[in-house]
Amino acid sequence: MLETGLNREQVTAAPFKDSVGIGSYRIDVHATSSGDAGVYLSTVPFQIPLGALIPQRMENLLPACKNLGVTHITNGCYRSHPVEWNIGESAGMLVAFCLKQHRMPREVRNSDEHLSDFQKMLGNDGMPIEWPKGKVWPI
């Protein structure tokens, strides 16, 4: 039994309706030159929300790797290569989808229909957007 009261079989990624990918990596915030010790913690698998790829105040700008909108702490998870590649691939697929549909990225995220169509496109291309149910993950 984990500290959360959940068994390992019950631990899963928090669901994001706008998920465009998945990741799994420890929180790994390095020590600083000012003496901060850094943070090194285990995490559970996570989903990459499309909203983290869309800037709040700009149009026609998308991240290509670890430069998405996350906190300093969660950035430690998003900076591993497989997650960076997933972000870049999702951003590239979003551009292709937007060009084909004549939509802006924000429109895709804010419309259930467009978001669903985009997520189907990702799935058809072999990109998982959620972790398999019932999978046991190390913590």
In a domain, 56, yes or no: yes
Instruction: Provide the number of structural domains found in the chain.
Output: 1
The answer, yes or no, to whether residue 120 has pLDDT greater than 70, is: yes
pLDDT at 139: 46
More confident residue, 120 or 58: 120
In a domain, 130, yes or no: no
Q: What is the largest CA-CA distance in the chain?
A: 50
Strands (E), the chain: 19-23, 27-29, 39-41, 46-49
| pLDDT (tens digit per residue) in 46-95 | 899 999 999 888 888 898 887 877 777 777 777 788 889 999 999 999 99
Using only C-alpha atoms, the chain has a radius of gyration, in whole angstroms, of: 16
In a domain, 139, yes or no: no
In a domain, 40, yes or no: yes
First to last CA, the chain: 12
In a domain, 1, yes or no: no
Domain limits at 31? 8-124
Residue 10's pLDDT band (boundaries 50, 70, 90)?
Answer: low
CB neighbours of 93 closer than 8 A, spacing ≥ 6?
20, 118, 121, 122, 125, 127
CA–centroid distance for 57 within its chain: 20
CB neighbours of 116 closer than 8 A, spacing ≥ 6?
none
In a domain, 95, yes or no: yes
In a domain, 75, yes or no: yes
In a domain, 2, yes or no: no
The answer, yes or no, to whether residue 20 has pLDDT greater than 80, is: yes
Q: Count Cβ atoms within 10 A of the Cβ of residue 83 and give its class: 0-12 exposed, 13-18 middle, 19 or more buried.
A: buried
